[in-house]
Structure 1
Amino acid sequence: MPSAHRPALSRARLATLTLLTLVSVLTGCSADPDPTARVVPSASAPGTPRSGQPTASDAPAAPAEVAVPSVGITSSLMELGLNTDGTVEVPPAEEGMTAGWYTGGAVPGEIGAAVIIGHNDTRFGEAVFHDLKKIKEGADITVTDKTGKALHFTVTATESVAKNAFPTEKVYGPTQERALRLITCDGDFDAQGHPVDNLIVYATAS
């Protein structure tokens, strides 16, 4: 059976802008795709005005599309927030060919880590990030915002990690880079048919 990805995120301390405290890590993919992660928005989340930070009137536009030309990926982006239980919303299985931007992270092009999540497979078949494993260091990722402005990111590294060893702070923690992370499932399947790894693509603004 096809599977989907349950990414690991951190629960951030609201009292600090520089440290993230891991509270729980939810991993595992299933044939009924529900890749979720438990988070609490941090004080440095977009939309929280601070001295020297953009306000709503001059904040970057939300992303509308992601493209990875080298592996043939192009997708519109839905916005993913939090469910009532604190887990991250994910694209529904029937929209497996559409990736999603997690609105609790940075807006692509802002300083910070912007996170885009896509299914590898769902019960309906191959999904939007099925070929993401073919991406190479140096590849271009283009994110187009809702105004039509194209932002380019260069892949700096890829990493396949066991779900029980997900590098939460490295992926979601504070950074002074204009960073982008793409996340999907990867690896072999366990006895329950769940992929045992996550594929993480790291990129920075070109």
Structure 2
Amino acid sequence: MAARHGSPWPGTLAAGAALVLGAWLLHGGQILPPVPTAAQGFDVHGAPIVVAPPMRRAVPTRIRIPAVGVDAPVTRLALGADGALQPPPEEDANLAGWYAAGTAPGQSGTAVLAGHVDNSKGPAVFYRLGSLHRGDRVEITRDDRATARFSVDAVEVYPKKDFPDGKVYAAAPNAQLRLITCGGGFTREGGYDGNVVVYAHLVAGG
């Protein structure tokens, strides 16, 4: 089931279960990835968000998040036969993926990037996503040589069984970004029981 451009994704995309289920922890890892605190959720009393004018559509090629040391190439992701988003190759720990049938980062709408939290060898590209704070910057280089610069609005963690599709994937009238990985609690039987989601808006492009 393909998502229509500019519309929310279907529920099967929201669960994030296709992302690695704690492969490193299952192989003897001892440290859970950071989980966002309630203080990093949406600030309902904060100043209104001013979003920069949207950019034209272009393919993202690299993502940088200085606050957590992310500097990684971006690959295209598609849907599998079951309608779920296919994750980036697990063996490449430093690789993020963009849902290529959806909004491009910087374009008007809600762009979505996903990445593994770990693989069998250790932490992966989005391992520290849960430690981001409001105001941290996300930079996405595109194939038109422009860079879309985003500011983090909130970082939240949701149980996979109660993932808020409408909140995360809703169409936006301006340029928004979502970063998603696995997180929350962990068991050997079920892997991670949640997803960490970073919400951000475009502050500059060019």
TM-score, reference length from structure 2: 0.73
Match of residue 179, structure 2, among 179, 182, 185: 182
Pairwise mapping of residues 66-85 of structure 1 onto structure 2 (< 5 A)?
A: 66-85=63-82
Contact 2:133-2:152 at 8 Å conserved across structures: yes
The aligned residue for residue 111 of structure 1 is 108
Show structure 1 runs of 5+ residues with no match: 1-9, 34-57
Aligned AA (1:30): L
Pairing 1:150–2:147 present: yes
Query: Distance in 1 between the 2:60 and 2:6 partners?
Result: 24
**From 32, 39, 61, the counterpart of 2:58:** 61
Number of equivalenced pairs:
171
> After the TM superposition, which of the residue ranges 111-120 and 80-89 deviates more from structure 2?
80-89
For 2:175 and 2:56, how far apart are their aligned partners in 1? 14
- Are the equivalent residues in 2 in contact too, given 1:27–1:164 (CA < 8 A)? no
Are the aligned partners of 2:13 and 2:83 in contact in 1 as well (CA < 8 Å)?
A: no
Distance in structure 2 (CA, Å) of the matches to 1:147 and 1:17: 21
> What is the percent sequence identity of the aligned residues?
33
- Choose which of 89, 94, 116 in structure 2 pairs with 1:92: 89
* Cα shift at 1:103: 1.0
Counterparts of 2:173 and 2:123 in 1: how far apart (Å)? 35
Match of 1:30 in 2: 21
SS in 1 for 2:91: helix
Letter of the 1:196 counterpart: D
Task: Write out per-residue CA displacement over residues 46-71 of structure 1, whole angstroms, 9 at most, x where no aligned residue.
Answer: xxxxxxxxxxxx95211101110111
Q: How does 1:113-152 map to 2 (within 5 A)?
A: 113-152=110-149
> How far does residue 87 in structure 1 lie from its aligned partner after superposition?
2.4
Secondary structure in 2 matching 1:192 = coil
SS in 2 for 1:148: coil
Contact kept in structure 1, 2:67 and 2:132, CA below 8 Å: yes
Does the C-alpha gap of structure 1 residues 156 and 27 become closer, same or farther in structure 2, counting only changes over 3 Å?
closer
Deviations 1:124-160 (A, max 9, x none): 2110011111111001100110122111000001111
Larger relative contact order (C-alpha < 8 A, sep ≥ 6)? 2
* Greater mean deviation of Cα atoms: 177-186 or 87-96: 87-96
Letter aligned with residue 96 of structure 1: A
- Measure, in 1, the Cα distance between the counterparts of 2:174 and 2:6: 15
Cα deviation, 1:146-203, whole Å, max 9, x if unaligned, reads 1221110000011111111111111112111200000011112135151111100000
Q: 1:32 to 1:180 in 2, by over 3 A?
A: same
Which has the higher mean CA deviation after the structures are superposed, 89-98 or 184-193? 184-193
Rounded to whole Å, the distance in 1 between the matches of 2:125 and 2:167 is 24
Q: CA RMSD in A?
A: 2.7
Indicate the residue corresponding to 1:102 in structure 2: 99
Is 1:196 aligned with 2:193?
Answer: yes
Q: List alignment gaps of at least 5 residues for structure 2.
A: 25-54
Please tell me whether the aligned partners of residues 120 and 130 of structure 1 are also in contact (alpha carbons under 8 angstroms). yes
Q: 1:186 to 1:147 in 2, by over 3 A?
A: same
Q: Alpha-carbon deviation of 1:83?
A: 2.2
